[in-house]
Amino acid sequence: MKLDATTLIDVSDRSDAVRAAAEDLRRDLATVCSDASATRTEASRIVCDCDASLADGMFRVAAGAAELRVSAGDELGFVYGLYHISRELLGVPNLWFWMDWRPGRVGAVEVQDGYAYASKPFAVAERGWFVNDEVLLMGWQLENDPDLPWQMVFEALLRCGGNMVIPGTGNNAAHHACAAAKRGLRIAQHHAEPLGARLFSSAYPELNPSWDEHKDLFIGLWRESIESRRGQHVIWNVGFRGQGDTPFWHSDPSYDTDAKRGALMSEIIGIQRRMVLEADAQARCCVYLYGETLELYRKGVLDLPDDVITIWSDNGFGRMVTRRQNNHNPRIDAMPDPTYQGAQGIYYHASFYDLQAANHITTLPNQPAHIVRELGTVLARGGRDFWIVNSSNVKPHAYYLDLIATLWREGVPARETPTDTDCARNTIDPACQRLVDRHMETFTTTYYGARDAEAVGRAYREYFDAAVPFGARWDEHAAEQYFNHCPRMLITQFMRARGETCEDMLWATGDESFGEQIETVDQIAVRGAERYGALVTRNTLAAGVMDEPAARLFEDSIALHARVYAHCCKGAHLVCKALRRGLDGDWQHAFWYAGLARREYRKARLAMLSREHGVWQGFYANECLTDIAQSAWVISGLMAFLRTMGDGPHFYQWQRDFIYSREEAKITTLLNLENHLTDDELFEAMLVKWEDRIV
């Protein structure tokens, strides 16, 4: 039989989710197949057939003379079956939209007689994305529709085999939950938002968010949330965090011991669980062992009901240990417990926002083989019931999202090295590396084309090799936030109290003097500037000989990320040079190096904006978390400070030094002959004389 643009898809009596998947398949047929066959007298058909013997999410596809039959026992089985046809028979890959994929052929697709496929069980039961820190999606529209990007997120997730989603943060989650549910996705909830309810401080900004003072109001918010989600398939988050993703005792210091904190959290979890089960006896609950919650659990002061899914969390960098919060970094083991009899899962990050060192707009720089090893250990230790992956804005993280989806579908092969995942940085498990290599070949061939797959794969591997460590462990590599937030911390300390150690930087430097802290950051920045600068040069040469579509995608993806690092690393290095000159009282050169640093951050920002084209127009407009643009304007403030220290209060000497002739500069009958230059104008004048001093 043949599939073409006239193929009929019969889903008239199916759910919204199945009809949405069918519409996607119709679009794919129109895209991949020529409409030249419209003169055919009898179109082929795709029909859906219920088969109660198939488990949830399972499907079969079988071809007849002029009919392709999808059999499934539930709506997600039909959804996956329709996307299987799109992917395996039409060749439309899972992340087609996010990777700007275009079909390499146009025409009818021949399906061989007797074609049959039966799906296999997933390695992970509940699997999906947390669309968190979604600021790029908030500032971008498709076809003037701000909700359409979210539909593309949900489609991609379902194509990858996902079945649940946290559809944004706060109001975004509430807004997009109905759309996600209509696509057949189960709704999970943010670890900082118990029962998905409004935060207390949002609902009652004038009140202290204390359980002891306002127990009834908290319960009212939870009841409100339960009622508003009737009819949705929700996996309810139980727990109790403070306002704004912080420990609750920050707002209620009377809970000043671990025992008190654990007792209250245990009490509240019990109350929330009962409320959920009273509304729906079949509902499932989960609790995130995240941050301080895991610490309480490990100390034995937190009691959890047996029927609640325990969700272990990585540190934001792929390692299953507790996350660092400010300067507190206990790295408590967060691997699932193989002796635990209940359901277990993980909250894992392809993207993270910590205002310190994580990745948000670039690909996670840690080695993929380590990530595979870590997730393989999760599976081996029983973490098979629930995986929620922080996908952020999807596009910058397509590679890892695709790799992780492969693992939640297929699992991980047996490892050839010990199960201790806190291994040396350069210790790579051979079995994990082979999986990574196979996936890399498939990923690059699928999206960049067979001709350029090898060159692109090499660029990805060199990207991971270029990552600069800021600590001793394999997960401690500096991502783009390191080269933006650390310089801003140092600048703030310089302007506030440059004779004192920067407390905000203790996590990265230890208890060093301020000057030594600058040196620590500078060493990492210099190494990064060298590595990423060389990688940008190689990538530019590689792109020059690629086919045009591959070159465009390459420059949009991993090559862009390397370029962002190259500029931000160089900018961080120049900030450190400026601050050292400032500590020496060489204000003029400090100003000069600060201006050069600002220029590098502006180049990084322009590098992102230059990759906005077609549907991606405006994608980076709201880049406000790493916020490279903010790095530039913080440096503008530093420049003003440095000029005040070195040229104030009358602000004439620097102007004379750079725009007056040598003879005029020595004559001070009149201090200046023109309006005072702005900082930008003065820096431009410096460029004229000092451009060759750039290092």
> Model confidence over 48-71: pLDDT tens digits?
999 999 999 999 999 988 899 999
**Per-residue confidence (pLDDT) for residue 490, from 0 to 100:** 98
**Fold category of 2-118 in CATH:** Chitobiase; domain 2 (3.30.379)
Comparing 1 with 70, the larger pLDDT belongs to 70
Q: How far is CA 541 from the centre of its chain?
A: 28
Q: What is the pLDDT of residue 670?
A: 56
What confidence category does residue 246 fall into, taking pLDDT thresholds of 50, 70 and 90? Answer: confident
pLDDT at 140 over 90: yes
CATH 3.20.20.520 domain range(s) in the chain:
126-423
What pLDDT score does 549 carry? 96
Amino acid 348: pLDDT: 98
Q: Which residues of 428-462 are buried (b: 16+ CB within 10 A; e: fewer)?
A: bbebbbebbeebbeebbbbbbbeebbebbbebbeb
Q: What single DSSP character describes residue 87?
A: I
Mean pLDDT of 379-404: 97
pLDDT of residue 669: 56
- In the predicted structure, residue 465 carries a pLDDT above the cut 60: yes
The DSSP line for 399-412 is: HHHHHHHHHHHH--
Q: Is it the case that residue 41 has pLDDT exceeding 90?
A: no
Q: Which of 385, 435, 439 is nearest to 412 (CA)?
A: 435
Q: What percent of the chain is modeled with pLDDT above 70? A: 95
Mean pLDDT is lowest, of 123-132, 226-235, 511-520, for 226-235
- The confidence score (pLDDT) of residue 572 equals 98
* Mean pLDDT, residues 34-54: 78
User: For position 427, what pLDDT does the model report?
Assistant: 84
- Quick one: CA torsion of 572, 577, 578, 583, rounded to 10 degrees? 130
| CA-based nearest residue to 171, from 233, 223, 126, 228 | 228
Range 80-86 average pLDDT: 98
pLDDT at 294 over 90: no
Residue 419, pLDDT score:
57
Structure tokens at 524: 């990492």
Residues 106 and 84 sit within 8 Å (Cβ to Cβ)? no
pLDDT band at 328 (very low <50, low <70, confident <90, very high): very high
More confident residue, 418 or 396: 396
Confidence of residue 174 (pLDDT cuts 50, 70, 90): confident
Spatial distance between the Cα atoms of 531 and 685, rounded to a whole number of angstroms: 31
- Residue 233: pLDDT band by 50, 70, 90 thresholds? very high
Over pLDDT 90: what percentage of the chain?
83
Average pLDDT, the chain: 93
Q: Which residue has the higher pLDDT, 670 or 443?
A: 443
Query: CA 73 from chain center: how many Å?
Result: 34
Domain with CATH 3.30.379.10 in the chain: 2-118
Question: Would you list the DSSP string of 41-76?
Answer: SS--EEEEEE-TTSPTT-EEEEE-SSEEEEEESSHH
Average the pLDDT over 213-220 and give the result. 95
pLDDT tens for 578-632 read 999 999 999 999 999 999 999 999 999 999 999 999 999 999 999 999 999 999 9
The structure tokens 């000989």 sit at 545
| pLDDT of 673 strictly over 90 | no
For the cut 70, the answer to whether the pLDDT of residue 666 exceeds it is no
Token pair listed for 376: 């393989």
pLDDT band at 40 (very low <50, low <70, confident <90, very high): low
Scanning the structure block, which residue is given the tokens 């379902």?
A: 158
Predicted confidence at residue 678, as pLDDT, reads 94
Pick 126-423's CATH classification: 3.40.190.10, 3.20.20.520, 3.30.360.10, 3.30.470.20.
Answer: 3.20.20.520
Which residues are CB-contacts of 492 (< 8 A; sequence separation ≥ 6)? 502, 504, 634
590-629 in b/e form (b: 16+ CB < 10 A) is bbbbbbbbbbbbbbbbebbeebeeebeeebbebbebbbbb
* DSSP tag of 544: T
Band (pLDDT 50/70/90 cuts) for residue 106 is: confident
The pLDDT tens digits of the residues spanning 492-533 come to 999 999 999 999 999 999 999 999 999 999 999 999 999 999
The mean pLDDT of 10-28, rounded to a whole number, is 96
Distance between CA atoms of residues 272 and 660, nearest Å? 73
For tokens 């409004």, the residue is: 198
In contact, 553 and 506? CB cutoff 8 Å? no
Over residues 536-554, the pLDDT tens digits come to 999 999 999 999 999 999 9
Read off the pLDDT band of 667 (50, 70, 90): low
DSSP label of 325: B
Closest CA to 561 of 587, 535, 543: 535
**Stretch 307-330: mean pLDDT, rounded?**
94
